Amino acid sequence: MRYAKCVIIPDDEGLHPLDRRIADHPDVTRELLYNVNLLADETIVALYRFSGKRTVLESILSESPMVNQYQLSSADGEHHAYIHLEAHDRLVGLLSMLRQFEFIYDTPLEFTRRGGLRVTMIGDVKSFQAAVPDVPDGIRLKLLKTGRYEPNTDRLFSQLTARQQEILRTAVDMGYYDVPRAVTHDDIGEELGCTGGTVGGHLRKIESTILTQIVP
C-alpha cells in the first residue's frame, strides 16, 4: 500500500466560497478538516475544527447562502463544526477526482499557514500520476513525498490543539517524561508563562486524547 503526501493549493478563490470567507477572517482559524464527503446530489458535508470567536463563526455560517445547515460543538476555545454545503464546481471536481481514481485520504487534513491543505492520499502509485491532469482549474497539487503507507504518530499529534502541541513539545524537551522525571508542572509553566495547574490540566487532556486511541 502506497501513499502520496501533498499540499492542495487553491488560488485566491479558495476551494469553496465559505472556506475562503472563513480563511480571510482574522477572528477565526481553520485548524483541521476531519472529513469531507461528496453526496449523490453533489452537495458536500464536512467536519471542521476551528479556533477563535464562536460568535463570529456562527455569524459567517448562518449568513452564508452556501450553507444548508450546520451544527457547532465548542470547548476550550475550539469549535467542531458539521457543515452541509451547497455544491461548488471546484470542490466537487476535486472530490470527484479522488473518487474516480479510488484514493483514500488519511484524516485529519491539516491547513497550512499559507492557506493550503496538507493531505496524505493512499492508493495505487500509477493513479497518482494519472490523476494530476484531472486536478480542477485553480488548484495546484504540490507533492511532498511518497512511500509505503504505515500509520504513524503524526496523525495523533495533529489532533491536539496548537496550545496542547506547544505544551507537549515543551514538556518533552524539558525532560518531563524522562525517567527519572527532570522537571515539574511548575517548571514547565514558568517556561510557558502559565501556572503549573494549567500545564497539568493540559497534559491530562493530551494523555487522554492519545492513550485512548492506542490502547486496544
110 plus 28 within the same structural domain:
yes
Model pLDDT, residue 173: 92
> Of 135, 153, 171, which residue is a domain's last?
153
Quick one: CA torsion of 190, 195, 198, 202, rounded to 10 degrees? Answer: 10
116 plus 24 within the same structural domain:
yes
135 plus 68 within the same structural domain:
yes
Among 93-102, 142-151, 194-203, which stretch is predicted with the lowest mean pLDDT? 142-151
pLDDT tens digits along 95-106: 888 787 778 888
114 plus 180 within the same structural domain:
no
16 plus 33 within the same structural domain:
yes
The overall average pLDDT reported for the chain is 86
% of the chain at pLDDT higher than 70 = 95
Domain containing 43 equals 2-153
Name the band, by pLDDT with cuts 50, 70 and 90, for residue 28: very high
98 plus 60 within the same structural domain:
yes
Give mean pLDDT, residues 117-130: 77
Q: What strands, in cross-sheet order, belong to the sheet with 78-85?
A: 67-75, 78-85, 44-52, 28-38, 104-111, 117-123, 2-10, 139-148
Name the band, by pLDDT with cuts 50, 70 and 90, for residue 79: very high
> Of 153, 177, 203, which residue is a domain's last?
153
For residues 136 and 127, is the Cβ–Cβ distance under 8 A?
no
> Of 153, 176, 195, which residue is a domain's last?
153
138 plus 183 within the same structural domain:
no
pLDDT score of 153 more than 70? no
104 plus 164 within the same structural domain:
no
7 plus 78 within the same structural domain:
yes
In the chain, the number of structural domains is 2
What is the domain-level CATH number for residue 193? 1.10.10
Could you give the count of Cα atoms lying within 13 Å of 167 in the half-sphere of its Cβ? 26
Model pLDDT, residue 50: 93
179 plus 113 within the same structural domain:
no
